[in-house]
Chain A
Amino acid sequence: GQQLNQSPQSMFIQEGEDVSMNCTSSSIFNTWLWYKQDPGEGPVLLIALYKAGELTSNGRLTAQFGITRKDSFLNISASIPSDVGIYFCAGQFGGGSEKLVFGKGTKLTVNP
């Protein structure tokens, strides 16, 4: 099935470092979302973006909706051990096609 290109696949960082990950697509999306998933659990919504160029923060997390509507990035500042998990980007076409299309995820490991 269709998936977004998400990078990097994995990251190993020290506690306190900043993290950046991104998603690109050949398709235009009306909505971009970022989720975090812990092992054995469902994805938890972190940030939702609805307009091209939009920059939104949620605590130490900041995400942007690319102006071409084909990409998005997520930054995490001053990482802490509980940031460990898999981060997924998802795009939604909207306009009658409401399904989410997901990337393959970025696995984040934070060393204390």
Chain B
Amino acid sequence: GEDVEQSLFLSVREGDSSVINCTYTDSSSTYLYWYKQEPGAGLQLLTYIFSNMDMKQDQRLTVLLNKKDKHLSLRIADTQTGDSAIYFCAERDDKIIFGKGTRLHILP
């Protein structure tokens, strides 16, 4: 069945770049998403990419898609303390399937 995999934890020093990786199984996915969840809150859509794109940039965020390897990544440049959150990768075919989330911890 459809599955989305991502590592559970990532620690990054403040000011460095964070790269969160994700793999998915459904080759017919049309959209891929990155959501952010801050403590005690709902999920907020950060960015998305169409499956026919390789890259999308939005200010400090860069999304890379390798469709052949079914690999998606989110790069956050100049990581700040406010970026500390759980980041969910998700794919859409007819439904949205979420990964288990990567908890990003910022080191001073």
A and B from one complex: no
Chain A residues packing against B (C-beta within 8 Å) = none
B residues engaging A (CB < 8 A)? none
